[in-house]
Structure 1
């Protein structure tokens, strides 16, 4: 054996001995503190005998954790994800009880509940000690990652693949707008991203469609199609179904429609991995993918990331402790905000602290661990979504101190992935992007004392409750928790009596549908049924504009901006920054025109007011940071890409819509991997006559039928 191998083996042996010694000491301390945990015989033992007993127990527990734990976790893989996270502690405690039973002469014993505590503490201490030793020895860390990567490649039979073709990691920072990212970089909150911008990456803003939310944007990015996704949730009259983007059944259907329309499996069909997303992107490796969440049985890989993460009991302990700390952090931050009298403000009690902790700790840890595994396995393309910022910004504001702290922690996760890339078996290009931004503002209910549903019912002459009911937040993380627990996802605005309008909210975008009619109800028919409705909505100061369909004039955009004068503009004549779109950014008219072509556009599409000076909108949900419609930063996400990749757009061109982002990402994959990545499918509906050529050529481009 060479000197280097002896040194490596010796270093590994030293680390094992140190971790064993620390675990032994920890066990002795716990035995002295906890009355129901002992390491000596009934008649008492010397300190030396107690130390030997603790060493025996710590060694047995360590071996059982290393050998038995992965098998136990795999056996429980089909248990709901969060239940598995709690079950970890009981399984860990069981292993400790077994380890204590192996100590000679019966000198080790503990009550079951005490064993859970002892096992958790020992796992955390052993993990911290091992990590500290690895950090101090960078060469050892590098060798460990390399060996792990080699083993994974051998298991997958990929030894013949060399590092000559780089892989690509697409990391989505959910809800982080272009301007928020720039502010965070300038304020020193994200030093890793700042370093990339200075040396290796370029930053490109892009513009969403009218529906500025994850369902539409991620479907477009991963599957190249945003057609007929008018909002986060909408009602389909022909089936009577309520489609909600973050419901598993709806996600499955949306992905099926996109694949059928494009004739293509998605962005990740070539050795791809999809982590923490709503849709699979055609990937073979899946973890925490909502459209796969309904799968059961041995072929269910939607939660495989939980197995990979919880295979190490120290991970479970570390994440659980961070979870508890995050719950405490949210309780402290919300209390301080209430005492300071911060405005705007929404309720942050109930289950929200736990939902926030799930999004900012559990999902982040599992997704990052899954991406690390993908990189060490040498996969060609990985797309992962981190929802932490989006969840916190909904309740604390997109530029609040709480959200800024989340950006700091996200930057540390990005730095970790960059470090892992240095040890991966192939070169990796890391692309950061977002699916939308968020716009601040007081809720519609907070500003005017009634919900959009109340206003619609008043305009229809229907009874309105004396006290306004709250429209719950539709943030993605809330229903992700329900999916993880295998609990049904309730609707928001489920149909009531057939004659009553269905009013749905997607951020500051509202949808009004009349379920007792076929197809889109015309403006003339709405006036015959409810003569005051459109004027009530268009003239309200909290509403910017409406989209309706007229029998005489075709589609109309109607708005009054809180004045006595109601503007009615045929959609074909609609111009940016004029009439009902006064104050809205360029591109708003094309976005509205495109949505009008969707078969499931609501009878009345309602966009809230937008103040171009403050950037504020009024969400129709309980969110002080919202997205889903037009107005402000919500429609302006970002794309941060390595400079060795081609420019996203040519010259001064603008990147518009998630479908175009899909074409850019696919082009980059072809640049990295060659012709094994298929060309972009012909999926995009041009937003104007001049856009058929696009800001860059779309491979195999052909126009879709606008009369869909």
Structure 2
């Protein structure tokens, strides 16, 4: 064995010894502090004997954690991921009880509740000690992760097309900050909340930033589908109704996400952005990647390696990860309860309810998902993968309920920046160089909800405009009263006899919400309902909606003009004649007319598309859901996400200009417009890094049936994304 290997082995032995010693000391302190935890016989022991007992127990617990814990976690794949937080503590406590039973002469004992506390503290202390030692030994840390990558390759991962070392073609990591708008990112960097991003922007040789404009449907389902698969054709909203199958498609449902992905691949005949040695982490769609973790569309598929939660359990197979993230999860739940309580006490407006399961859902998005995805990305980088696309959803979840400019959301940005810093730091130690591209899928616009402002939901207003019964709480509102009056005038008779006016054969309208975009469908009208058909059935509905102060404009089919946009005061413009800055779309900015025209061509466009009002002076919209920060339609920052890229890559606007010069239609208003354009830019960048890529056959989903595991806790050793405060 050479001198270098002896030194490496010596340092590794010292680290193990140090962690063992600290764990032993921790166990002694806990035994002295907790009355139900003992390391002595009933007659008492000498200090030396007690120390020996603690060392034995700490060693046994560490060994069990290393050998048994991964087996236990992998056996729990059938357990819902949200239950894992509680199981972490239970399983850890059980391992400690077993370790105490292994101490000679039965000197170790603890009741189950105390065992859970002792195990959690010991795991946290061991993780912190290991982290501190790793930070002091960069080379050992790099070698450890490299060995893990080599081990994974030997277990069966075929090498990518290029794993040539740091002098070869670079890989690319695409990190999506879900819901972070361009202006939010710029302000956070300027205010010191995101120093990593600020450093990229300030360094003249670093990165460049540009906004881009979303489609009318400004939400993750439409944007990420187009970014990863090149098309979001026929995705009119986050959720929509399809008459031919009588189903509601919802982007966050695995079956719907899988069908959306299948349609996009069929439309483009291309497997996706990540078909060549790619990895998809925490996304709605696979992008054609062969390596997957936490990909929603794959959760609808069955078979070995296709379990949607496999990535979570691979991460939690390291007890240090499990304990740290579980503690952070609990802290985040308490943080949300405290923040929502303060918001209620201070009567903050706008405000929505944040009780029930929401604190746990928020903690899952801001802690568990963030930690697991960050670890997966680090593992991909050390495995030398060509392209990685990961979605960090923390900000979007909090901004929906607290507001995109709230203090709560700003704190999430601070923690996300730490994850970015960790990934950027690790890039210095990976077997190949990496270019880091930061982007978002949409922004968020703030404002009081439609129901909070007017006392009734969009569904209530639609039913009132149809003369249908509405809930008692909505009957007393001014909007419902005006709608009933409009029905009475239109029908020239009282509305009390509603049953006679609406025969049983007419089904109720289906009203869906996607942020501040509403969709109304009449399921018993075959195909897209025309304006004339709707007005024959419900003569007051369209005028009631168009003239409501909370609604900006409607899109509806028309027998004479094909489709028309309706606005307040009787405004009516054929879709073919729409112009930015004029008519009902006047306040919605450049590109609004083109976005509406494109959606109008979708086969599953709703019978009536409803966009809320937008106040350009305040930037506010009214969400048709219970969200004070929303996205899904037109109006404000929701339509203005960002793209941040290394200067070594071609400027996106130059790519757009080249496309226009080659005969493509120029984007309305200039700039980077639509998620499909972003896909073309990212594809060009991958080609620049590694040469032209050969798409995988679409029929195979780009190998998307294969699951992969992120690295365990060593990948987090520098600056673990999880926090306990």
Q: Deviations over 1:350-395 (max 9, x none)?
A: 2111111111001111111111111111111111100000011111
Which residue of structure 2 lines up, in the alignment, with residue 668 of structure 1? 685
TM-score with structure 1 setting the length: 0.89
* Secondary structure class of the residue paired with 1:607: strand
Supply the distance in 2 between the matched residues of 1:304 and 1:284 (Cα, whole angstroms).
15
* Secondary structure class of the residue paired with 2:212: strand
* Secondary structure class of the residue paired with 1:649: helix
Which residue of structure 2 lines up, in the alignment, with residue 605 of structure 1? 609
Are residue 158 (structure 1) and residue 164 (structure 2) matched? no
- Report the CA distance between 1:468 and its aligned residue: 4.1
- Report the CA distance between 1:179 and its aligned residue: 0.9
* Secondary structure class of the residue paired with 1:515: coil
- Report the CA distance between 1:296 and its aligned residue: 4.1
Q: Contact 1:443–1:619 (CA<8 Å) still a contact in 2?
A: yes
Supply the distance in 2 between the matched residues of 1:270 and 1:679 (Cα, whole angstroms).
7
- Report the CA distance between 1:613 and its aligned residue: 0.9
Supply the distance in 2 between the matched residues of 1:87 and 1:354 (Cα, whole angstroms).
15
Q: Contact 1:441–1:617 (CA<8 Å) still a contact in 2?
A: yes
Which residue of structure 2 lines up, in the alignment, with residue 699 of structure 1? none
Q: Contact 1:285–1:301 (CA<8 Å) still a contact in 2?
A: no
- Report the CA distance between 1:425 and its aligned residue: 0.8
Supply the distance in 1 between the matched residues of 2:303 and 2:527 (Cα, whole angstroms).
40
Supply the distance in 2 between the matched residues of 1:497 and 1:73 (Cα, whole angstroms).
54
Which residue of structure 2 lines up, in the alignment, with residue 281 of structure 1? 287
Which residue of structure 2 lines up, in the alignment, with residue 593 of structure 1? 597
Which residue of structure 2 lines up, in the alignment, with residue 9 of structure 1? 9
Supply the distance in 1 between the matched residues of 2:186 and 2:172 (Cα, whole angstroms).
23
Which residue of structure 1 lines up, in the alignment, with residue 550 of structure 2? 542
Q: Contact 2:465–2:538 (CA<8 Å) still a contact in 1?
A: yes
Are residue 434 (structure 1) and residue 422 (structure 2) matched? no
Supply the distance in 2 between the matched residues of 1:542 and 1:68 (Cα, whole angstroms).
58
Which residue of structure 2 lines up, in the alignment, with residue 194 of structure 1? 198
Q: Contact 1:670–1:677 (CA<8 Å) still a contact in 2?
A: no
Matches within 5 A, 1:634-645: 634-645=638-649
Supply the distance in 2 between the matched residues of 1:87 and 1:243 (Cα, whole angstroms).
33
- Report the CA distance between 1:311 and its aligned residue: 1.3
Are residue 342 (structure 1) and residue 348 (structure 2) matched? yes
Q: Contact 2:276–2:696 (CA<8 Å) still a contact in 1?
A: no
Which residue of structure 2 lines up, in the alignment, with residue 48 of structure 1? 48
Supply the distance in 2 between the matched residues of 1:110 and 1:637 (Cα, whole angstroms).
54
Which residue of structure 1 lines up, in the alignment, with residue 580 of structure 2? 576
* Secondary structure class of the residue paired with 2:472: coil
Which residue of structure 1 lines up, in the alignment, with residue 421 of structure 2? 415
Supply the distance in 1 between the matched residues of 2:289 and 2:582 (Cα, whole angstroms).
44
Which residue of structure 1 lines up, in the alignment, with residue 493 of structure 2? none
- Report the CA distance between 1:154 and its aligned residue: 4.2
Q: Contact 1:92–1:116 (CA<8 Å) still a contact in 2?
A: yes
Q: What value does the CA root-mean-square deviation take over the aligned residues?
A: 1.9
Q: Deviations over 1:401-435 (max 9, x none)?
A: 11111111111100000111111111111111000
- Report the CA distance between 1:39 and its aligned residue: 1.3
* Secondary structure class of the residue paired with 1:207: coil
Q: Deviations over 1:167-220 (max 9, x none)?
A: 111100000011111111111111101111122111121111100000000110
Supply the distance in 1 between the matched residues of 2:159 and 2:458 (Cα, whole angstroms).
56
Q: Cα–Cα, structure 1 residues 286 and 315, in superposed 2: closer, same or farther, change >3 Å?
A: same
* Secondary structure class of the residue paired with 1:552: coil
Q: Contact 2:170–2:432 (CA<8 Å) still a contact in 1?
A: yes
Supply the distance in 2 between the matched residues of 1:405 and 1:658 (Cα, whole angstroms).
28
Which residue of structure 2 lines up, in the alignment, with residue 58 of structure 1? 58
Which residue of structure 1 lines up, in the alignment, with residue 407 of structure 2? 401
Matches within 5 A, 1:652-663: 653-663=670-680
Are residue 459 (structure 1) and residue 476 (structure 2) matched? no
- Report the CA distance between 1:36 and its aligned residue: 2.8
Which residue of structure 2 lines up, in the alignment, with residue 91 of structure 1? 91
Are residue 559 (structure 1) and residue 561 (structure 2) matched? no
Which residue of structure 2 lines up, in the alignment, with residue 485 of structure 1? none
Could you say which structure has the greater relative contact order, defined with CA pairs below 8 angstroms and 6 or more residues apart?
A: 2
* Secondary structure class of the residue paired with 2:415: helix
* Secondary structure class of the residue paired with 1:442: coil
The farther-off stretch of 339-348 and 423-432 is: 339-348
Q: Contact 2:82–2:364 (CA<8 Å) still a contact in 1?
A: no
Supply the distance in 2 between the matched residues of 1:679 and 1:144 (Cα, whole angstroms).
33
Within the candidate set 290, 309, 322, 2:296 is matched to: 290
Consecutive unaligned residues of structure 1, counting only runs of 5 or more, are: 470-495, 682-708
Within the candidate set 227, 230, 247, 1:241 is matched to: 247
Within the candidate set 377, 380, 383, 1:374 is matched to: 380
TM-score with structure 2 setting the length: 0.87
- Report the CA distance between 1:304 and its aligned residue: 2.6
Supply the distance in 2 between the matched residues of 1:218 and 1:242 (Cα, whole angstroms).
20
- Report the CA distance between 1:262 and its aligned residue: 1.2
Which residue of structure 2 lines up, in the alignment, with residue 477 of structure 1? none
* Secondary structure class of the residue paired with 1:547: strand
Are residue 518 (structure 1) and residue 526 (structure 2) matched? yes
Which residue of structure 2 lines up, in the alignment, with residue 82 of structure 1? 82
Q: Contact 2:85–2:329 (CA<8 Å) still a contact in 1?
A: no
Consecutive unaligned residues of structure 2, counting only runs of 5 or more, are: 476-503, 658-669, 699-725
- Report the CA distance between 1:70 and its aligned residue: 2.0
Q: Contact 1:174–1:386 (CA<8 Å) still a contact in 2?
A: yes
Which residue of structure 1 lines up, in the alignment, with residue 488 of structure 2? none
* Secondary structure class of the residue paired with 2:692: helix
Q: Cα–Cα, structure 1 residues 677 and 177, in superposed 2: closer, same or farther, change >3 Å?
A: farther
Q: Deviations over 1:245-294 (max 9, x none)?
A: 10111111111111111111111111111111111111111111111113
Which residue of structure 2 lines up, in the alignment, with residue 264 of structure 1? 270
Supply the distance in 2 between the matched residues of 1:27 and 1:122 (Cα, whole angstroms).
7
Q: Contact 1:669–1:677 (CA<8 Å) still a contact in 2?
A: no
Supply the distance in 1 between the matched residues of 2:301 and 2:234 (Cα, whole angstroms).
25
Q: Deviations over 1:25-61 (max 9, x none)?
A: 1112222233332212222211211110110111111
Q: Deviations over 1:482-524 (max 9, x none)?
A: xxxxxxxxxxxxxx99521111110000001111110111101
Which residue of structure 2 lines up, in the alignment, with residue 704 of structure 1? none
Q: Contact 1:149–1:424 (CA<8 Å) still a contact in 2?
A: no
- Report the CA distance between 1:114 and its aligned residue: 2.6
Which residue of structure 2 lines up, in the alignment, with residue 472 of structure 1? none
* Secondary structure class of the residue paired with 2:217: coil
Q: Contact 1:176–1:390 (CA<8 Å) still a contact in 2?
A: yes
Which residue of structure 2 lines up, in the alignment, with residue 484 of structure 1? none
Q: Deviations over 1:541-588 (max 9, x none)?
A: 11000001111121000001xxxx210001111111111112111100
Supply the distance in 2 between the matched residues of 1:532 and 1:167 (Cα, whole angstroms).
58
Supply the distance in 2 between the matched residues of 1:84 and 1:614 (Cα, whole angstroms).
42
Q: Contact 2:619–2:637 (CA<8 Å) still a contact in 1?
A: yes
Supply the distance in 2 between the matched residues of 1:157 and 1:521 (Cα, whole angstroms).
52
Structure 1 residue runs of 4 or more that deviate by more than 6 Å after TM superposition: none
Q: Contact 1:286–1:304 (CA<8 Å) still a contact in 2?
A: no
Which residue of structure 2 lines up, in the alignment, with residue 509 of structure 1? 517
Within the candidate set 193, 216, 221, 2:227 is matched to: 221
Which residue of structure 2 lines up, in the alignment, with residue 530 of structure 1? 538
Within the candidate set 624, 638, 661, 2:628 is matched to: 624
